[in-house]
Amino acid sequence: MKNLQVHIDDNSGFCFGVIYAIEMAEDILNEEGILYCLGDIVHNDEEVARLQAKGLKIINHDELKSLRDTKVLIRAHGEPASTYQLALENNLELIDASCPVVLKLQNRIKSSYDKDEKIYIYGKHGHAEVIGLLGQTNNNAVVFQDITELDIATLPKEMTLYSQTTKSTDSFYAIKNQLTNSGINVNANDTICRQVSNRDVELRKFAQQYDKVVFVAGKKSSNGKVLYNVCKEANQETFFVSSVSDIDYSWFNDGDKVGICGATSTPMWLMENVKTALGEK
């Protein structure tokens, strides 16, 4: 036994948008035993597998086109208007679990588009939320993951800047300042979810308290990658796992204080499983 002292971060785990989506899914699954979901309900394979065992069926947009007369869950990331139109045509009942923060952002982008503003979105190419945001502009907005993707010299002298809700506030304002310093009039809209962005500060403090940190997240989670790097900067002895099977017990020394934390898409039960596994060694 290595007698590890293991603690879970109280602030880690699902954000309210994910909690809302999963609770809606579970209510229907408990009543009906089956529910279609457009894309992974959360970017965590372990949680998706748990819900699939209850009857959740993950489908993509091509598969949605062939569905008729059934219920389909819209996950927290939101969807473009075209998805709602298809649902009407196919007599699909949409269980809309779009995050309120995302819906507010979609409405603001649609309003900007209706005013013919030049819209730029700081976000991850191909991300489900970003696809929904682009849909508010008939795919006419410019999406960029890094400011180096933009040719500053050819940008319009006036633009409206938005951000994917899970991006870093520091990065967003650094981009805004760089554009402004280049002579561009930037109408910056800070639409970043504070429940997500505030975890940067919380996780730095948490990670610094421990000899070792185990960060638990799905490999497909954008938020997980960002927050893992936050922990790694605060404590170099931070290790990424997606499940208990990823743990390498050689990481730890006898008596280590170990902190366990995770992304906004990481279920608390999975962090509890990691704690239990560490306590048995």
Residues with active-site annotation: 129
Q: Alpha helix (H) ranges present in 41-193?
A: 45-54, 61-64, 81-89, 100-114, 128-135, 169-181
| Contact present, 122 and 164 (Cβ < 8 Å) | yes
Side-chain-side CA neighbours of residue 264 (13 Å) = 26
Burial string for 82-102 (b: 16+ CB within 10 Å, else e) reads ebeebbeeeebebbbbbbebb
| Contact present, 16 and 265 (Cβ < 8 Å) | no
Side-chain-side CA neighbours of residue 88 (13 Å) = 5
Going by C-beta distance under 8 Å and a sequence separation of 6 or more, which residues neighbour residue 276? none
Distance CA 221, CA 266 (A): 9
Three-state DSSP class for residue 137: coil
